[in-house]
């Protein structure tokens, strides 16, 4: 029985190691971690919803630091400059009260940003595309307050996608 357990353990270890073979720590685009610096500028807000630029920039900076692919630069000497435009803020009904199908219970909040990452030295555009961040908020009498509370969640969704685009880019 002991030999059977050893074979079973060896097989489990081999399966575990083979399952992790496709994973890689650090940057996946071939550059060394922290070898390039990035500057995140405030995004221009073209919506009627105030105060969206700050949470998005803050979440993006935090996410880039956590990722480790880039070194965050705040002095204006970065290799890559990230800019963007907040294009839309949409609140769509998601679910309704059981007893009243006209009264919204939850909303889906979507913020669309156009992100552009440019190489400082050459002016080459590395990434340019729209990214949609979303979150769900519960309807309450103070809907504006609920939207403000959703802003960091939407910003985190955007930051996660933008960081993935930058870190996994093939440029």
Q: Tens place of pLDDT for every residue, the chain, 171 residues?
A: 577 777 767 777 666 666 655 544 455 555 556 579 999 999 999 999 989 999 999 999 999 999 999 999 988 889 999 999 999 999 998 888 888 888 888 989 999 999 999 999 899 999 999 999 999 988 888 878 888 888 999 999 999 999 999 998 765
In a domain, 13, yes or no: no
What is the residue range of 145's domain? Answer: 31-167
In a domain, 15, yes or no: no
Residue 2 is predicted with a pLDDT of 72
- Exposure of 20 in the CB half-sphere (CA atoms within 13 A): 7
- The CATH code of the domain that includes 72 is 3.30.160.150
What is the value of pTM for the model shown?
Answer: 0.77
Please give the tally of structural domains in the chain. 1
**Triad 120, 43, 34: Cα angle to 5°:** 45
Helix (H) or strand (E) run with residue 59 in it: helix 53-67
In a domain, 139, yes or no: yes
- Torsion angle of the four alpha carbons 122, 126, 130, 131, in this order, in degrees rounded to the nearest 10: -130
In a domain, 11, yes or no: no
In a domain, 120, yes or no: yes
Is residue 22 classed as helix, strand or coil in its secondary structure? coil
Residue 138 is predicted with a pLDDT of 87
- What interhelical angle do 143-167 and 53-67 show, nearest 10? 40
Q: In Å, how far from its chain's centre is CA 146?
A: 21
- Tens of pLDDT along 51-62? 999 999 999 999
């Amino acid at each position: 029985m002991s030999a059977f357990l050893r074979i079973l353990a060896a097989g489990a270890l081999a399966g575990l190691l083979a399952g992790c073979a496709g994973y890689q720590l650090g940057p996946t685009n071939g550059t060394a971690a922290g070898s390039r610096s990035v500057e995140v500028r405030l995004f221009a807000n073209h919506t009627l919803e105030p105060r969206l630029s700050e949470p998005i920039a803050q979440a993006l900076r935090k996410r880039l630091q956590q990722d480790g692919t880039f070194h965050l630069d705040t002095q204006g000497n970065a290799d890559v400059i990230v800019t963007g435009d907040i294009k839309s803020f949409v609140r769509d009904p998601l679910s309704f009260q059981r007893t009243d199908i006209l009264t919204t219970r939850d909303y889906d909040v979507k913020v669309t940003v156009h992100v552009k990452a440019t190489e400082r030295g050459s002016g080459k555009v590395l990434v340019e595309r729209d990214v949609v961040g979303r979150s769900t908020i519960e309807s309450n009498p103070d809907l504006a307050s609920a939207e403000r509370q959703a802003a960091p969640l939407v910003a985190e969704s955007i930051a996660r996608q933008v960081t993935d685009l930058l870190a996994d880019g093939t440029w």
